[in-house]
Each structure stands twice: as structure tokens, then as C-alpha cells.
């Protein structure tokens, strides 16, 4: 039996059968997401780069259906979660970043519009067929923060580290302040 996550059908075909897809896959099964995470982790020294980061679990539930007068607008409700390894932009240390996405999507052809479904986000289809894997992967990539950081201050070495001596602390604007006061 083929994996429905990798099957291509039109949005109407997915919706017509009320397809529900429950998946648990490894991050390595999502090529673009894997590439984004790998690029982030490449900044780390090999000694602290998390081992097995590609084996992180991605889980999702997609429910296809229709809305609209005459049930003619295909939709998908998505619950997607994953925990990926990332680099904290404060302390530059690796940490586990949980991603949770709950989305309601109208599956529309380019430049197609429908009115009255504000609770849904428009997902413009670039092709006549879609692959559920692409939806899951794109939702997770969009959920990645621009600057990943520890959620808890205590977990971040940059925020929890005590400064031993304030004289040793770098003050990048101290020289500028001194120059400004000398000119006045």
C-alpha cells in the first residue's frame, strides 16, 4: 500500500473522499525542511552538533473536505507538530525547538477567490495536483522562527551566565560616547 503523504491528486479528489491522513515520519523524509535545519546546525562546531537530528519525529493529521454552497470549495484541516534541533541566536548553543501548527486551509487555484471564509487561510495551489507532504513541510518551514531562541531564560547560557568582572565586559559604544563628550 502506498503512503498517501506522497500521493498526488487534485484537491477535489482528496476532499471528495474525505481523506484523513495521520502520519508519523522522520524529519529526513522532508527534504526542504531537512535542508533548512541542516543549514542552521552547520554553524555549530562538530563537537556540539546534535547527533541524530534527522531522526526527529514529525507528526500530522490532515482532514480533507469541502465547504461552500454545494460543497464545492476543497479544504484541509491540519494539525502538525515536530521538534527540531536549532541554534539559539542568543547563546549560539543547540537546543530542541518545538513546532506546533494548527491550520485550516482553503485549497484554491491561482487567482481563484471565495468570500465568507475568514476562519480559513487561502492556500494557493501552484499545480493542478497536490501532495500532502508538501503541505506539511511548508507549514513547518513557515512555523520556524526567524531567530530561534530558548523559550526559558534559565536554559539560555547567554542570559543565565554571570558576568565575572564588569571591567572585562566589552562595551562597543564606550569609545564613541567618550569621543562625543570630548567634542562638546
The CA distance from 41 to 121, in Å, is 31
Average pLDDT score over the chain: 87
In this structure, the number of other CB atoms found within 10 A of the CB of residue 162 comes to: 4
The answer on pLDDT for 183 being more than 90 is: no
For residue 79, the model assigns a pLDDT of: 97
In this structure, the number of other CB atoms found within 10 A of the CB of residue 171 comes to: 10
- The three cell numbers of residue 101 are 501548527
- The three cell numbers of residue 19 are 481523506
Domain enclosing residue 173, as ranges: 4-183
Where residue 166 falls among pLDDT bands split at 50, 70, 90?
very low
The CA distance from 129 to 17, in Å, is 15
pTM: 0.81
What is the tens place of the pLDDT at every residue in 73-123? 999 999 999 999 999 998 999 999 999 999 999 999 888 888 888 899 999
- Specify which residues 94 forms β-bridges with: 87
Instruction: Report the side by side order of strands in the sheet with 121-124.
Output: 20-26, 57-67, 73-87, 94-108, 121-124
- Start-to-end Cα distance in the chain: 79
Interacting residues of 110 by C-beta distance below 8 A, sequence separation 6+? 124, 125, 126
Q: Where are the alpha helices (DSSP H) in the chain?
A: 11-16, 31-41, 132-143, 157-160, 174-183
For residue 170, the model assigns a pLDDT of: 61
Cβ atoms of 117 and 128 closer than 8 Å: no
- The three cell numbers of residue 137 are 513541510
Tell me how many domains the chain contains.
1
The CA distance from 60 to 152, in Å, is 26
What is the tens place of the pLDDT at every residue in 26-36? 999 999 999 99
The answer on pLDDT for 167 being more than 60 is: no
Beta strands in the chain (DSSP E): 20-26, 57-67, 73-87, 94-108, 121-124
Amino acid at each position: 500500500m502506498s503512503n498517501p503523504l506522497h500521493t498526488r491528486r487534485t484537491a477535489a479528489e482528496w476532499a471528495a473522499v474525505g481523506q484523513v491522513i495521520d502520519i508519523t515520519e522522520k524529519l529526513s523524509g522532508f527534504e526542504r525542511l531537512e535542508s533548512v535545519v541542516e543549514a542552521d546546525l552547520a554553524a555549530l562546531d562538530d563537537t556540539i552538533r546534535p547527533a541524530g537530528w534527522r531522526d526527529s519525529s514529525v507528526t500530522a493529521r490532515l482532514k480533507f473536505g469541502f465547504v461552500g454552497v454545494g460543497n464545492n470549495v476543497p479544504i484541509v484541516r491540519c494539525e502538525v507538530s515536530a521538534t527540531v534541533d536549532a541554534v539559539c541566536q542568543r547563546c549560539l548553543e543547540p537546543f530542541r525547538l518545538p513546532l506546533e501548527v494548527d491550520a485550516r486551509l482553503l485549497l484554491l487555484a491561482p487567482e481563484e477567490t471565495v468570500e465568507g471564509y475568514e476562519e480559513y487561510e487561502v492556500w494557493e495551489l501552484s499545480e493542478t495536483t497536490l501532495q500532502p507532504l508538501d503541505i506539511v513541510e511548508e507549514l513547518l518551514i513557515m512555523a520556524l522562527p526567524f531567530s530561534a531562541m530558548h523559550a526559558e531564560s534559565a536554559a539560555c547560557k547567554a542570559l543565565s551566565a554571570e558576568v565575572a568582572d564588569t571591567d572585562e565586559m566589552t562595551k562597543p559604544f564606550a569609545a564613541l560616547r567618550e569621543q562625543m563628550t570630548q567634542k562638546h
